[in-house]
Structure 1
Amino acid sequence: MKVKKQKKHRKIITFYTSCFGFRKPFKVLCDGNFIHHLLQNKITPADKSLANILNSDVLLFTTRCVVEELKRLGRSFAESLEAARQLKIARCEHEKCEHAAKCIMEVIGENNSLHFFVGSQDTELRRQLQQVPGVPLVYGLRNALFLEPVSASHKEYVKTSEEARSHITDIEHKMLKNRIQNSTNNEKAANSADEGKELEDQTKDVKAVKKNRSSARNQMGIKDRPQFKRKKAKGPNPLSCKKKKNRNVGSLKENTEVDKKRSRKRKRTRKGQQNTTTAD
């Protein structure tokens, strides 16, 4: 595969993966003409050839209506019928077999919720599928496979959807309005509660300050109210008065000296007196 072709296919795949949520492994829904073209041009095995284009593993699907249509086409499509029976069957809700193109359109639906790549050689079917958003198309040309370029309708759909996402819907607008009202009410209630708490705290602080002041005054011996004392008669200033002299100090000294003299004098006795005393 050429480099330019690879770049084109990568751009197409990134567009569908980023804008419509396609994920690997990719699923390819094949119609009878596409299966017959693969076998006629020997593009086999089909899963590997498609994996080379999509740069990913591939799961091949078809519908019960496509298999029934290949049965009715006769022996020339017998090999294609056997190949279709080996593919996985995508569920379609048709009791009676419908035309293959109609069946594929109903399986794809309005927005291709199952994320199918559609492989078809039917130009009319591909033209109809280009109007359905999010349907990448694969077709064969001789012995090569190609991805259909992104249609203008797909690009326009992506653009409008992105613009719609950027705007708010009516339901979202109502929800946002209710949330804003609830938040404002809650803020008002919280602010009123905070103001009440602040007032209570201020009153408590004032009371505590008063108590602390009164306790500090009581500890320091300071009274709240001044008490006036009556003036009493005061005596003379002791610093301005002379000191009193003790008159008894001199007499005491004299007495002590006399006592000392008395104690020092010895009593002398005369011999005559002693004798008289003995004689008597």
Structure 2
Amino acid sequence: MSTVRSVAAVGRPGPPAEREGLPGPGRCLVMGILNVTPDSFSDGGLYADRRRAVDRGLELAAQGADIVDVGGESTRPGAGPVALEEELARTVPVVRELARAGVCTSVDTMHAPVARAAVEAGARMVNDVSGGLADPAMARAVAAAGVPYVATHWRTSSRLMDRHADYDDVVADVTAELARRLGQLAEQGVDPARIVLDPGLGFSKRPEHDWALLAGLGSLRRLGYPVLVGASRKRFIGAALADGGAGEVPPGGRDAATAAVSALAALNGAFCVRVHDVRASLDAVRMAATYLAHLDRDGSRAGGVPVGAGAR
């Protein structure tokens, strides 16, 4: 049987779930990436200066970003750790200025002290690519802060993660590992009503794993939590654009394809997409929302429309 099923067969995703303290526009949210680092894989160094970082955050908000995600430590494959004081110095002043300007900000960090300081400075969400595994104090810090928390599927550090990309069934394995992590977070006091899940595309994943997870978002959504998809400019997009060629399309040439992935994620019920190019993905998720609304208004036309490809 084909893995491409009709809307009638698998059911259309409902409106994206909301989280208290975050925007609720009734469509997939768009999170703008603000890397205040010298070594991020795509735009490292462009916004390492504080003034340029704040200006870029304001620009992302003006382009329509629902959330601006400020990160001070690169998590690209092979990246090394950043000293805690350096990460604090990079992120907290930028978060504070953006929050004062009325921008909904989140902090991208694996470290509890940075999360606490950023929330005190005005961050409304913590985005932790380790899901609380890199810092045992993170869960308690987030629980005390009472803000939404993005828990990402993670197996090990950026230096080693490519060695841990082994799965029997990547969708089933990632779903099971996240389910176990959810239980651990709840035991540490994190309010389940504030958790957002992220399948961790690119983190201990090969391109074929990323595509399988994107197609299998329905399995993750059945855990009962909103799902964030961070696909922007990642290797699996570059490899697909190469179309069997010898080399990948470089990160700067992946924005149009990223917007297409944002539309696919939104059609499969994603709560939020995390992207570098806000305007293109905002257009994409709006088109997805409009498309789904028209299906809802005339369900008789739903049969045979390939939405939710690979849903399980």
Shorter chain as denominator, the TM-score bin is under 0.3
The structure with higher relative contact order (CA 8 Å, sep 6+) is 2
Larger radius of gyration: 1
Q: From the two aligned structures, give the one with the greater helix fraction.
A: 1
